[in-house]
Homo-oligomer: A and B are copies of this chain.
Amino acid sequence: MSGQRFVIHGDFISTPDPGEVRIHENAYITVEGGKVSGIEKERPDTGPDVTFIDYKGKLIIPGFSDVHLHAVQYVTRGLGYDKELLPWLNDYTFPEESRFQDPAYGERVFNDVVHDLWASGTLHCAIFSSLHTDASILLMEKFAKAGLSAYVGKVNMDRNSVEELQETTEESIRETERFLEAARPYEERGILPILTPRFAPSCSDELMRWLGDKAMETGLPVQSHVNENQGEIAWVRELFPQSNNYLAVYEDFDLLPQSRTIMAHCIHNSEDEMQMFLDKDVLVAHCPDSNANLASGIMAAGEMIDRGIRVGLGSDIGGGNRLFIGHAIESAMRLSRLLWAESDHAYRTITFAEAFHMATAGGGSFFGKTGAFLPGYSFDALVVDDSRFTRYRPLSVFERLQKFVFAGDDRQIEARYRGGEFLPLPDFD
């Protein structure tokens, strides 16, 4: 259908900029070549070659972007939230990730991860696999079958892991080359490799250097973690005494390529680091569910927005426990309100529209023109049947969106479109 023209009818809402709400109620969007070409109040004249799709009275919203999650922690999400980050990694996460050496295990889990992303309306994601190359390619294959777009990272880690989950520097380099080669056939379907040093403590200087050179040489994007937890920050300071701060460790190894870097968490930042997010146009992956579950703290999201830093939302499965990005929107608002309350109002709260923007156009900015209904943008949309919430009395379109996010879940998502294509239930057989 993407080469064709079609007209879609419904109640559209999106947030092209932080806090900017655009509503087109009972309107018609024309899609040509997979992109929005027009938005009209009246049904446009269409010839016999134009398909008309009527979602009258349904809410139509941009597809979600989840800019930080770990496919290989799907099984352990929800477990061990009595612990802090570093013990949680050692007791639950690393042992689980080591299981992905077995392709049969990966097959079982990834089928569900990708199905559930589809079900939850997450049409784009930036995802960590494990260090296993074959599992990482298998994950790409699943995304291809589901018609979703993704940046997939084979994780690099050549130190400070557990016995079952180790690679030498040489293996890490060789397997990354093999991964990049094997990833090529997926590129045309919007499934792309991303360099993924797990986090600075997991990578030797030599491996960081090699990855940075690779990023510079190829233009590949990078994803990693920064400033999640005080213990982690102190550890990085010990491991990399020559760098000015945690974020500068990545920069010192050329691992913050301009406008092509995602950094997860970004809670405990120095002034220099805040400036570097802006200068390097880093996409900050705000992961409020995970940050609360692992007692990491609260990122000052309002301050990020006010400084013009790009912010998206991450479910951070398995530090976070729910794939549906509505939960992350809910949590982003809640955490900002608790920070306001607990800091004696030193930090501002974020609005619903700002949080929704993070989940759509904000995170979406990493995947091209997506996340809003603007001419020239990819038609990536969810059709939401929210009649469950409006049967008592009429609600405004903006209220309906709030209800879907705060009281709904994937059960209300009736249809998904990416690049103008309807996405059927994934068939992995």
A interface residue numbers (CB < 8 A to B):
75, 77-82, 99, 105, 108-109, 292-298, 321-322, 330, 333-335, 337-343, 349, 351-352, 391-393, 395, 399, 402-403, 405-407, 409
Contact of A403 with B330 in the complex, beta carbons under 8 Å: no
Contact of A321 with B406 in the complex, beta carbons under 8 Å: yes
Partner of A75, one of B82, B321, B393, B409: B393
Contact of B403 with A292 in the complex, beta carbons under 8 Å: no
**A-B residue pairs in contact (CB < 8 Å), sample of 29:** A75-B393, A77-B403, A77-B406, A77-B407, A78-B402, A78-B405, A78-B406, A79-B399, A79-B406, A81-B337, A81-B402, A81-B406, A82-B349, A99-B393, A108-B392, A292-B334, A292-B337, A292-B338, A293-B334, A293-B337, A295-B337, A295-B349, A297-B338, A297-B342, A298-B342, A321-B407, A335-B338, A342-B342, A342-B343
- Answer whether A352 and B405 are a contact pair too, CB < 8 Å, given A338-B292, A338-B298: no
Query: Chain B residue with minimal CB distance to A404?
Result: B78
Q: How far is the CA of A123 from the CA of B391 in the complex (A)?
A: 25
Q: How far is the CA of A321 from the CA of B339 in the complex (A)?
A: 20
Contact of A81 with B352 in the complex, beta carbons under 8 Å: yes
Measured between beta carbons, the chain B residues less than 8 angstroms from A296 are 341
Measured between beta carbons, the chain B residues less than 8 angstroms from A82 are 349, 351-352
Q: How far is the CA of A379 from the CA of B129 in the complex (A)?
A: 44
Q: How far is the CA of A154 from the CA of B243 in the complex (A)?
A: 64
Q: How far is the CA of A341 from the CA of B406 in the complex (A)?
A: 26
Shortest CB–CB separation between residue A299 and chain B, in angstroms? 12
Measured between beta carbons, the chain B residues less than 8 angstroms from A99 are 393
Q: Which residue, A109, A298, A337, has most C-beta atoms of chain B within 10 A?
A: A337
- Answer whether A407 and B297 are a contact pair too, CB < 8 Å, given A75-B392, A79-B402, A337-B292: no
Query: Chain B residue with minimal CB distance to A391?
Result: B108
Measured between beta carbons, the chain B residues less than 8 angstroms from A341 are 295-298
Shortest CB–CB separation between residue A389 and chain B, in angstroms? 8
Query: Chain B residue with minimal CB distance to A405?
Result: B78
Give the 3 A-B CB pairs with smallest separation, nearest first.
A78-B406, A292-B334, A295-B337
Shortest CB–CB separation between residue A48 and chain B, in angstroms? 43
Measured between beta carbons, the chain B residues less than 8 angstroms from A293 are 333-334, 337
Measured between beta carbons, the chain B residues less than 8 angstroms from A330 are 321
